[in-house]
Amino acid sequence: MTSEEILLVEQRDAVRILTFNRPQARNALSSALIDALRTEVAAADTDDDTNVVILTGTDPAFCAGLDLQELGESGGNLSLVSGAGLPVGHPWTPISKPIIGAVNGAAITGGLEMALACDFLIASERARFADTHARVGVLPGWGLTQRLPAAVGPGFARRMSLSGNFVSADEALRVGLVTQVVAHDELLDTALEVARTVAGNDQPGVRALLASYRRAEEHVVEPALRVEQQTSEAWMQEFSPSLVAERRASVIERGKAQNAHK
Query: d(Cα 195, Cα 173) in Å, to the nearest integer?
Result: 19
Question: What is the span of the domain harbouring residue 29?
Answer: 7-203
Query: d(Cα 117, Cα 111) in Å, to the nearest integer?
Result: 10
φ, ψ dihedrals at 123, nearest 5°: -120, 145
pLDDT tens-place string over residues 149-191: 999 999 999 999 999 999 999 999 999 999 999 999 999 999 9
Torsion of CA 29, 41, 153, 223, to 10 degrees: 100
| Contact call for residues 115 and 62 (beta carbons, < 8 A) | yes
Residue 208 lies in a domain: no
- The residue length of the chain stands at 262
| Domains contained in the chain, number | 1
Residue 187 lies in a domain: yes
- Three-class SS state of 236: helix
| Contact call for residues 244 and 138 (beta carbons, < 8 A) | yes
Q: Where are the alpha helices (DSSP H) in the chain?
A: 3-6, 31-46, 68-73, 110-116, 133-136, 144-152, 154-163, 169-175, 187-199, 203-236, 241-260
Residue 186 lies in a domain: yes
The number of angstroms, rounded, from the C-alpha of 213 to the middle of its chain's C-alpha atoms is 20
Residue 64 lies in a domain: yes
pLDDT in tens, the chain (262 residues): 566 699 999 999 999 999 999 999 999 999 999 999 999 999 999 999 999 999 999 999 999 998 887 776 555 556 566 656 789 999 999 999 999 999 999 999 999 999 999 999 999 999 999 999 998 888 899 999 999 999 999 999 999 999 999 999 999 999 999 999 999 999 999 999 999 999 999 999 999 999 999 999 999 999 999 999 999 888 877 766 666 656 655 665 666 666 655 5
pTM (predicted TM-score): 0.91
Query: d(Cα 160, Cα 150) in Å, to the nearest integer?
Result: 13
Residue 137 lies in a domain: yes
The residue type at 205: G
Residue 73 lies in a domain: yes
The interaxial angle of helices 144-152 and 154-163, nearest 10 deg, is: 130
Residue 236 lies in a domain: no
Query: d(Cα 57, Cα 247) in Å, to the nearest integer?
Result: 25
Query: d(Cα 146, Cα 241) in Å, to the nearest integer?
Result: 25
Q: What's the CATH code of the domain at 39?
A: 3.90.226.10
pLDDT tens-place string over residues 102-122: 999 999 999 999 999 999 999
Give yes or no for a cis peptide into 60 (omega within 30° of 0): yes
Residue 228 lies in a domain: no
Query: d(Cα 58, Cα 84) in Å, to the nearest integer?
Result: 27
